[in-house]
Amino acid sequence: MQYLLLVLMVAGLAFATYRLLRASAERPRPRVIGPDDDPDFLRRLDPKDNPRN
């Protein structure tokens, strides 16, 4: 009887750990805004700072 309880506790702990890891992996990642996506950044650029011009 004690082994059955031990197996059930270990199985429950493994299942809970699995669910917690899956829940954190499915969380949406925050979107990173790059310089090309930020119009204010592009407006602040000075044309003389662009070496291609």
pLDDT in tens, the chain (53 residues): 999 999 999 999 999 999 988 877 666 777 776 666 667 777 777 666 656 55
The predicted model scores a pTM of 0.46
Q: Which pair of tokens denotes residue 17? A: 């750990």
Contact 18, 24 (CB under 8 A): no
Report domain extents, the chain: 1-49
List, in order, residues 6 or more apart from 53 with CB less than 8 Å away.
47
Measured CA to CA, the distance from residue 6 to residue 4 in angstroms comes to 5
Which pLDDT belongs to residue 4? 95
Give which of 28, 29, 26, 7 is closest to 18, Cα–Cα.
Answer: 26
Which pLDDT belongs to residue 30? 76
